[in-house]
């Protein structure tokens, strides 16, 4: 026997179905059903650790962010304890205005093979990120200053930094630092144990 539904009943039924669908999608998103894959976020940015590591931690960070600086010690501890299992990828998410040019500067340092040395120095000097400061840090690290200054002044990597920022927004990043451990989001300068649990979960699979 066919049951005829009124127009009002059809509208109510449609609303109910939409609510149920949204609830289901939300549940699966929270449980990691739609977890982001490392390859979707890693891009071609600088990384530490083996390229074929089972665990990829993608970090979205800001050179002027004090919490980002605090997290650096935890990341170094992770690399020490998981030298062959973990790869850490650094991506820029400059919320502070002065961090935009600093992010470009780190890419210019990368052109001369000193990304991580420059990266570490920026976190040590994060209250001093003027363009003149950034150029002086290149001198401190023994970079070719003419090449570095030209790179920075030209804005060579402005689009690269913007891409990192846009990719972070698309992935749901709203604060720094934000990490993705094989797609699982961790926000803030969390304790080592938080990262360890996420890493061990991947390694146990």
Give 14 or 190, the one with higher predicted confidence. Answer: 190
Task: Provide the pairing of β-strand 47-48 with 86-92.
Answer: antiparallel
Q: Are 100 and 8 in the same domain?
A: no
Residue 4 binned pLDDT confidence (cut-offs 50, 70, 90): low
pLDDT for position 34: 42
Q: Are 106 and 191 in the same domain?
A: yes
User: Structurally, how many domains does the chain consist of?
Assistant: 2
Domain that holds residue 8: 1-34
Q: Are 20 and 54 in the same domain?
A: no
Q: Are 110 and 189 in the same domain?
A: yes
CATH classification at residue 73: 3.40.30.10
pLDDT for position 23: 45
Rounded to whole angstroms, how far apart are CA atoms 60 and 71? 11
Rounded to whole angstroms, how far apart are CA atoms 107 and 23? 42
Q: Are 128 and 152 in the same domain?
A: yes
Q: Are 14 and 92 in the same domain?
A: no
pTM of the model: 0.81
Nearest to 49 by CA among 199, 170, 171: 199
Q: Are 92 and 191 in the same domain?
A: yes
Q: Are 73 and 140 in the same domain?
A: yes
């Amino acid at each position: 026997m066919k049951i005829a539904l009124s127009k009002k009943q059809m509208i109510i039924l449609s609303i109910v179905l939409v609510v149920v669908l949204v609830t289901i999608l939300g549940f699966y998103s929270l449980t990691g059903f739609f977890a982001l894959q490392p390859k979707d976020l890693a891009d071609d940015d600088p990384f530490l650790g083996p390229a074929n590591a089972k665990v990829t931690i993608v970090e979205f960070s800001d050179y002027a962010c004090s919490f980002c600086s605090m997290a650096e010690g935890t990341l170094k501890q992770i690399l020490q304890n998981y030298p062959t299992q973990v790869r850490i990828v650094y991506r820029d998410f400059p919320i502070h205005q002065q961090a935009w040019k600093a992010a470009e500067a780190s890419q210019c340092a990368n052109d001369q093979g000193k990304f991580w040395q420059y990266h570490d120095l920026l976190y040590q000097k994060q209250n001093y990120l003027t363009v003149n400061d950034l150029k002086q840090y290149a001198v401190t690290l023994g970079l070719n200053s003419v090449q570095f200054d030209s790179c920075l002044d030209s804005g060579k990597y402005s689009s690269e930094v913007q891409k990192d920022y846009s990719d972070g927004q698309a992935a749901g990043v709203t604060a720094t630092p934000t990490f993705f451990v094989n797609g699982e989001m961790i926000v803030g300068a969390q304790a080592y144990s938080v990262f360890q649990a996420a890493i061990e979960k991947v390694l146990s699979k």
